[in-house]
Amino acid sequence: MMMGEAITFRGQLLYEEPMSKHTSWHVGGNAERYYIPSDLADLQAYLAALDPNIPVTWVGLGSNMLVRDGGIRGDVIAPLNALDRLELLDDGSIYAECGVTSAKLAKLCLKHKLTGGEFLAGIPGTVGGALTMNAGAFGSETWRHVERVTMIDRQGRLIDRNPSEFSIAYRSVTCADDEWFASAVFRFAPRQAGLESGVRQMLQERNANQPIGQPSCGSVFKNPRGDHAARLIEAAGLKGHCRGGACVSEKHANFIISKPQTRASDIEALIRFIQKTVKQKLDVALETEVRIVGEDA
């Protein structure tokens, strides 16, 4: 339950919202409560009124998340299309709120002839998600371009922080408990020409090598140092292997495709089977890149 029930919020609060509608695998149980804030100030008020014992889960495009069949207890915060302020600042840096898509940030870089953000065009997620996991592609990573961030805590307070206050690694960012990324300021270098062709080349390469258009979460596993998860999964003979309606992609072995009627438990079982098989056959422990949340059915 929420404290201060008489408070009127400007956002949209949904009860027992199916998370299958909000994840790229199209699976998962219901969110107990699902809140879409109208803007950052509204989210601050909502969090300030929320019982501190209620768990909070954030979801952007749902492209790097597996929600279990039992759903998510507590509150899900959905900033996509709500916390979406994006602008070029006077000093040439870019301000982006957490609900801005990575592709939209890449387009702004393209518009203003800034280089370094091309890789973001191929990341199917939001700025908040990219900051949380240090998302990357084509040899680049999000946090290489971060100048500062603004966090929001359980009480709805905004805290400005510098990159030095975080532990940043490959597909991993460690920050204070009960703080989440509200916005960030990015710095990209100016570039005079050729940027458009670079973005097109990256997207063409992605489309050629990944199962675009099929329900997936993107890369399921982190690449081990000096190797690629896809190569290891294929070497273990698992390309095309299925559990229920979940199958390892024939096009890219680090993608799991969900077919109609797939359950989250099918996907999780396949993930665990891949990890077990690669460890047994190749003596490599694969770590998941995808976030697994929620309760078993």
Three-state helix/strand/coil letters over the chain: CECCCCCCCCCEEEEEEEHHHCCCCCCCCEEEEEEECCCHHHHHHHHHHECCCCCEEECCCCCCEEECCCCEEEEEECCCCCCCCEEECCCCCEEEECCCEHHHHHHHHHHCCEECCHHHHHCCCEHHHHHHHCCEECCEEHHHHEEEEEEEECCCCEEEECHHHCEEECCEEECCCCEEEEEEEECCEECCCCHHHHHHHHHHHHHHHCCCCCCCCCCCECCCCCCCHHHHHHHCCCCCCEECCEEECCCCCCCEEECCCCCHHHHHHHHHHHHHHHHHHHCCCCCECCEEECCCC
Q: Which residue is catalytic, options 118, 141, 268, 289?
A: 289
- Our answer to whether residue 167 is catalytic in this structure is no
Beta 114-115 vs 189-190: how paired, if at all?
A: antiparallel
- Our answer to whether residue 225 is catalytic in this structure is no
- Our answer to whether residue 16 is catalytic in this structure is no
Q: Which residue is catalytic, options 171, 187, 231, 291?
A: 171
Q: Which residue is catalytic, options 219, 249, 258, 265?
A: 219
Q: Which residues are catalytic?
A: 171, 219, 289
